[in-house]
Amino acid sequence: MNLVLFGPPGSGKGTQAERLRNRWKLRHISTGDLLREAVANQSELGKKVESVLKSGQLVSDDIILGLMRDAILAVKKDTLLLGWLLDGFPRTVGQAKGLDALLGETGTRIDAIIVLDASRDSVIERLSGRRTCTQCKTVYHVAHNPSKIAGVCDKCGGSVVQREDDRPETIAKRLDVYEAQTRPILAHYEGRVPMHVIDGDLPVDDVTTEIERIVGQAAA
């Protein structure tokens, strides 16, 4: 069972990916994790990634796809896993086309794309309300899960602050990029891969229930 979780920043992809991974024995593959693992392992690709990151440049699609290829092949060899789950990739139509070629090369396919379609207002509310501990990285929310003492982490006593990328103006820019570069991927896959759109504004548990229903039907 190979899945792609799709949706704007703040739509809940990370939360749902963790739940899906545990329930269906999937490897959760995100580009951020792949880049960190490659650098830590000092593989050939990892050395290239480290060099690019140190220079302050963006990692090329070719390197990302190379890391993705290694991860997908590793899942195919792991008898304890039932498949993979892509989160935050592909981000552009160009990456989607590269992924198509990679899947053809490895004899793999996407079984379903799950789209968390959260509204712009709800995304800005969710992300702008987030606060993060500068020490232990625990995440809070001013409306839904505040720390007991404002600005102080319940767990370690560290400072709880709003990250720069959680400021409303930054979130708005990220959403603009999503609309311009990432949402067109849906048209690329339309009619080629089963696609399921879920209301990302629903409560987290309700979204999970709907995803479980969809994945259960696809796996049957």
Residues annotated as catalytic are 13, 91, 130, 163, 174
- Cα separation, 64 vs 35, in Å, equals 8
Q: Are 190 and 214 in contact (CB under 8 A)?
A: no
Burial class (CB in 10 A: 0-12, 13-18, 19+), 84: buried
The amino acid present at 193, given as its one-letter code, is V
Non-local (6+) Cβ contacts of 93 within 8 A are: 181, 184, 185, 188
Terminal alpha carbon distance of the chain: 10
Tokens 């232990």 correspond to 136
Chain centroid, CA 47 distance in Å: 24
Q: Residue 142 belongs to what H/E stretch?
A: none
- Cα separation, 46 vs 123, in Å, equals 33
